[in-house]
Amino acid sequence: MKWRILIISILICLITVGCSNTSTLTLEEKVADFEQLYNEVKEGYPYLEVNKRLYKDDWLANKEDFRRRIEKTSSDEDFANELNSIMRKLHNGHTEVITDASYFNMLKDVYEPLGWYDFFNDKDLNHLYNDKEKSNAYGMGSGKNIELKDLVEDKVGYMYIPQMNSASGSIDDDMKKISSYIKEIEDYQSLIIDIRGNMGGNDQYWVDLVSNISDKNYKCRGYRLFRNSSNIIKNYTKARNSKLNDIKELPMLSNAPKEATNMFTHFEYNEEVVKGKAKMPFKGEIYLLVDGDVFSGAESFAIFCKEQKFATIIGSQTGGDGYVYDPVLFKLNNSGIIVRMSSTMYLTESGICDEEKKVTPDIEVNNTIRYGIRKIDPCVNKVLELENIQ
């Protein structure tokens, strides 16, 4: 499955619901759940060493401090929030404790039909996440609308893509609008694709976007690495029918992290094929505007643009974790809390770990605040400068 349900956790404000404001869990049960969470991270999380290098913090070494924090919690609500705070120290947008009922219901709507997990109908989950109102799931008809407009008449087109999903719920609806706009600006000097603030969604969105802009075919290659000695990761890759190879067969990659061959057990080749289908492709210069919020599925698009030289990238370093699988979900035995954890390390064709060395723009701009307005927006102004447009 090419699409990926991404980064909803950052887009939806986490509010604590479902858990009682008094403790129904004993201290022993809380500690046991923490131990379970800790061990799952220890055995299956892909970025422990990356976290050390980037944040100078050994998450595993903090176990006793984490345990003391758990022991001090006075309610189930505090316990859930403390677990989430501990997971946040891994600094990964795909890794968290689910404390929000609407978010849980969205996950249930998306993942239950796939049959990857067997816990969505457990009674304790329905009691824990007891909000009766379901969210309008991101990626299933929510978010902002795209913007298509001319920044400079007859010269510069502009396309704002706020998420890798359609606000209407239909990617095809957006693509029809985009295709029509590309035909209108066929002879323009340049096109700006603005994904600042885009935290991801469905990879198929940007693949279709490229197909509607270009008539060329592209291939973006890389590797997904797994710690398949972890039972939850092993069950996950099995459920997805992943085509795994022994890590010993991983090609020598000059830029690969040192832990690639000793921390991981298996890898999967990734080849993203993007077919150019535009009957009237855009022939001018293409610019991609990015910032630190670009993540997950949007990050995949930024990687594609960088490696395939599809666009000149302007802005600041991106947020990372592109081209990965969906995060894996697991349930804590005593509380029933669901944990979401990044499942994969992605390496580019040359071995670069995207979560560690995120996409660096071709041209960096200090102020990446998005206005999308000529003479006010620094990134837009940089494009106009490069295009010699006053």
Report the CATH number that the domain containing residue 375 is assigned in CATH.
Answer: 3.90.226.10
Shared domain for 167 and 119, answered yes or no, is: no
The kind and range of the H/E element at 225 are: strand 218-226
- In this structure, what token pair is assigned to residue 95? 């890794």
Residue with structure tokens 């197909």? Answer: 211
Per-residue pLDDT tens, the chain, 390 aa: give them. Answer: 444 443 333 333 333 444 445 568 999 999 999 999 999 999 999 999 999 999 999 999 999 999 999 999 999 999 999 999 999 999 999 999 998 888 898 899 889 999 999 998 887 776 678 643 443 333 334 579 999 999 999 999 999 999 999 988 889 999 999 999 999 999 999 999 999 999 998 999 999 999 999 999 999 899 999 999 999 999 999 999 999 999 999 998 989 999 999 999 999 999 888 999 999 999 999 999 999 999 999 999 999 999 999 999 999 999 998 888 899 999 999 999 999 999 999 999 989 999 999 999 999 999 999 998 888 999 999 999 999 998
- In this structure, what token pair is assigned to residue 46? 């892909």
> Considering the domain boundaries, does residue 337 fall inside one?
no
Dist. CA 379–CA 366, nearest whole Å:
9
> Considering the domain boundaries, does residue 341 fall inside one?
no
Dist. CA 343–CA 56, nearest whole Å:
22
Q: Which residues contact 226 (CB under 8 A, 6 or more apart)?
A: 46, 233, 237, 242, 244, 264, 265, 266, 267, 268, 343, 344
What is the identity of the amino acid at 340? R
**Domain encompassing residue 193:** 147-325+347-386
Shared domain for 127 and 151, answered yes or no, is: no
Number of CB atoms found within 10 A of residue 156's CB: 24
Shared domain for 175 and 271, answered yes or no, is: yes
Shared domain for 161 and 211, answered yes or no, is: yes
Last residue of a domain, one of 75, 97, 132: 132
Shared domain for 240 and 381, answered yes or no, is: yes
Q: What is the CATH number of the domain that holds 69?
A: 1.20.920
By DSSP bridging, strand 285-290 and strand 190-194 are parallel
Dist. CA 101–CA 103, nearest whole Å:
5
Shared domain for 297 and 227, answered yes or no, is: yes
Dist. CA 243–CA 352, nearest whole Å:
21
> Considering the domain boundaries, does residue 335 fall inside one?
no
User: How many folded domains does the chain comprise?
Assistant: 2
Shared domain for 187 and 286, answered yes or no, is: yes
> Considering the domain boundaries, does residue 61 fall inside one?
yes
* Gyration radius (Cα) of the chain, Å: 22
Q: Which of 22, 120, 33, 2 is nearest to 335 (CA)?
A: 33
- In this structure, what token pair is assigned to residue 243? 């085509």
**DSSP string across 319-344:** -B--SPPPPEEEE-TTT--EEEE---
Using the 8-state DSSP alphabet, how is residue 361 labeled?
P
Shared domain for 77 and 218, answered yes or no, is: no
Shared domain for 169 and 258, answered yes or no, is: yes
> Considering the domain boundaries, does residue 76 fall inside one?
yes
Shared domain for 198 and 76, answered yes or no, is: no
> Considering the domain boundaries, does residue 332 fall inside one?
no
> Considering the domain boundaries, does residue 1 fall inside one?
no
* 166 CB-side CA count, 13 A: 15
Shared domain for 186 and 71, answered yes or no, is: no
Last residue of a domain, one of 106, 132, 158: 132
| pTM, rounded to two decimals | 0.85
Shared domain for 57 and 202, answered yes or no, is: no
Backbone φ and ψ of 345, nearest 5°: -105, 130
Query: Taking the C-alpha atoms of 369, 371, 374 and 376 in order, what is their torsion angle to the nearest 10 degrees?
Result: -60
Residue with structure tokens 């029933």? Answer: 336
Last residue of a domain, one of 67, 98, 132: 132
> Considering the domain boundaries, does residue 308 fall inside one?
yes
Dist. CA 363–CA 383, nearest whole Å:
10
